[in-house]
Amino acid sequence: MKQTALLVAISCAALSANLFAALGDTEEEIGSLFGIPVDQGVPDKKAITTNMYEKGDYVILVQFLNHLSLAESYTRADKHDFSDEELSALLDGNSNGRPWTKDPNKQVWERSDHKASAWCQTLSGRPTLFIQAR
């Protein structure tokens, strides 16, 4: 039991130290956190570029407009559910100092400034957290 608690604490510390990207970060800031994209997107008709990164157990998609992050998704490649600590760490990284309010009936959050929302969804058996600017 102590080993499990220690592993969770270490994982959370590593997650908070190395995995934070935030809405509004530049492509360079995201690249310094996640490395070179495994799939470098090209701008679509709305000038939005989607890059795919891999870091640890995550596949991360980041959408950029004018080289600034406007949406992110974190997918568990190992198909494990997100822990509450993981979700908190990822949401805190995108809080801009503002708290998130969780819908009591589902895994949906809204940032207190109403400028971002987040939700969990399972895609192809892989839990995914979406965070999007409004």
Secondary structure string (H, E, C) spanning 32-54? HHHCCCCECCCCCCCCEEEEEEE
Q: Is the pLDDT of residue 17 over 60?
A: no
Position 21 scores a pLDDT of 83
Q: Is the pLDDT of residue 14 over 70?
A: no
Sole residue written with tokens 């490649």: 77
Per-residue confidence band for 20, with pLDDT thresholds at 50, 70 and 90: low
Given a contact cutoff of 8 angstroms between Cβ atoms, the answer to whether 26 and 68 are in contact is yes
Position 96 scores a pLDDT of 87
* Share of residues in the chain with pLDDT > 90 (%): 81
CA distance 67 to 121: 26
CA–centroid distance for 120 within its chain: 11
Q: Is the pLDDT of residue 16 over 80?
A: no
- Over residues 120-132, the mean pLDDT reads 95
Q: Is the pLDDT of residue 9 over 80?
A: no
The pTM for the full model equals 0.82
